[in-house]
Amino acid sequence: MALDPSTGSGLRRLGVQRATTVLRHGLTFWRRSIQARVVASTVLLSALVIGIVGVFLLQQTRDGLLEQREAAAVGEATRVTEEAQDSLDGVPATETDVALQLGELVDPIVELGLTRDFAVVLSGPAGDSRIADSAQYTPRLDKTSVPSALEEHFQGNATTAFTYTELRRETSDGDVVAEPAIAVGSQVRLPADSRTYTLYYLFPLSDEIATLQLVGRAMLTAAGLLLLLVAGLTWLVTRQVVTPVRMARRVAERLAAGQLQERLRVSGEDDLARLATSFNQMATNLQRQIRQLEELSRVQRRFVSDVSHELRTPLTTVRMAGELLHDARGEFDPTTARAAELLLSELDRFETLLVDLLEISRFDAGAAVLEIDDLDLVDVAHRIVDATSALAAQNGVMVRIEADGPCRAEADVRRVERIVRNLVTNAIDHAESGDIVIRVASDEHAAALAVRDHGVGLAIGEAAMVFNRFWRADPARARTSGGTGLGLSIAMEDTHLHGGWLQAWGRPGEGAQFRLTLPRRNGGVLRRSPLPLVPVDATEPVA
* 404 occurs within a structural domain: yes
Domain assignment present for residue 430? The answer is yes
One domain, residues 511 and 401: yes
Q: Assign residue 428 the CATH number of its domain.
A: 3.30.565.10
> Of 502, 508, 422, which is closest to residue 458 (Cα–Cα)?
508
Instruction: Name the pairing type of β-strands 399-403 and 195-204.
Output: unpaired
Q: Is residue 294 part of a domain?
A: yes
CATH number at residue 354: 1.10.287.130
Tell me, yes or no, whether 194 and 313 share the same domain. Answer: no
Specify whether 363 is located in the same domain as 384: no
Nearest of 187, 165, 160 to residue 118 by alpha carbon: 165
In a domain? residue 346 = yes
Instruction: Return the DSSP state at 405.
Output: S
Same domain for 393 and 277?
Answer: no
In terms of domains, do 121 and 173 share one? Answer: yes
Q: Single out the residue of 99, 94, 93, 87 nearest to residue 188, CA to CA.
A: 87
Asked if 279 and 329 sit in the same domain, the reply is: yes
Note whether 507 and 410 are same-domain residues.
Answer: yes
| pTM of the model as a whole | 0.52
Per-residue pLDDT of the chain (543 residues; tens, 9 = 90+): 444 555 666 677 777 888 888 888 778 877 777 788 888 889 999 999 999 999 999 999 999 999 999 999 999 999 998 888 888 887 776 566 777 878 878 888 888 888 888 888 888 775 554 566 557 888 888 888 889 888 888 877 778 899 999 999 888 787 888 999 999 999 888 888 788 888 899 999 999 999 999 999 999 999 999 999 999 998 888 888 787 778 888 888 887 787 778 887 787 777 777 878 888 888 888 888 888 877 877 776 677 667 666 777 777 787 788 788 778 888 888 888 888 888 877 777 777 777 766 777 676 666 677 888 899 999 999 999 998 888 888 888 899 999 888 899 999 898 899 899 989 998 888 887 678 999 999 988 899 999 999 888 888 878 778 887 776 655 544 455 445 567 788 888 889 888 999 999 988 888 899 999 999 998 888 888 999 998 887 776 544
Same domain flag for 331 and 469 = no
Secondary structure of 418-481 in HEC code, one letter for each residue: HHHHHHHHHHHHHCCCCCEEEEEEECCCEEEEEEEECCCCCCCCHHHHCCCCCCCCCCCCCCCC
CATH at 187: 3.30.450
Do 379 and 486 lie in one domain? The reply is: yes
Write down the pLDDT at residue 70.
92
- 337, 349: one domain: yes
Same domain as 464, residue 507: yes
* Angle between helices 377-387 and 413-430 in degrees, nearest 10: 50
| pLDDT per residue as tens digits for the range 75-87 | 999 999 888 888 8
Mark which of 313, 334, 368 sits at the end of a domain: 368
Total of domains in the chain: 3
Q: Is 484 among the domain residues?
A: yes
Residue 223 lies in a domain: no
Domain boundary at 314, 349, 368, which?
368
> What single-letter amino acid sits at 25?
H
Residues 6+ apart with CB under 8 A from 2: none
| 437 and 480, same domain (yes or no) | yes
Are 386 and 399 in contact by the 8 Å Cβ rule? The answer is no
* In-domain check, residue 46: no
Among candidate residues 351, 368, 385, the one where a domain is terminated: 368
Asked if residue 352 is part of any domain, the answer here is: yes
- Give the range of the structural domain holding residue 286, as residue numbers without chain letter: 263-368
Q: Residues 504, 513: contact at Cβ < 8 Å? A: yes
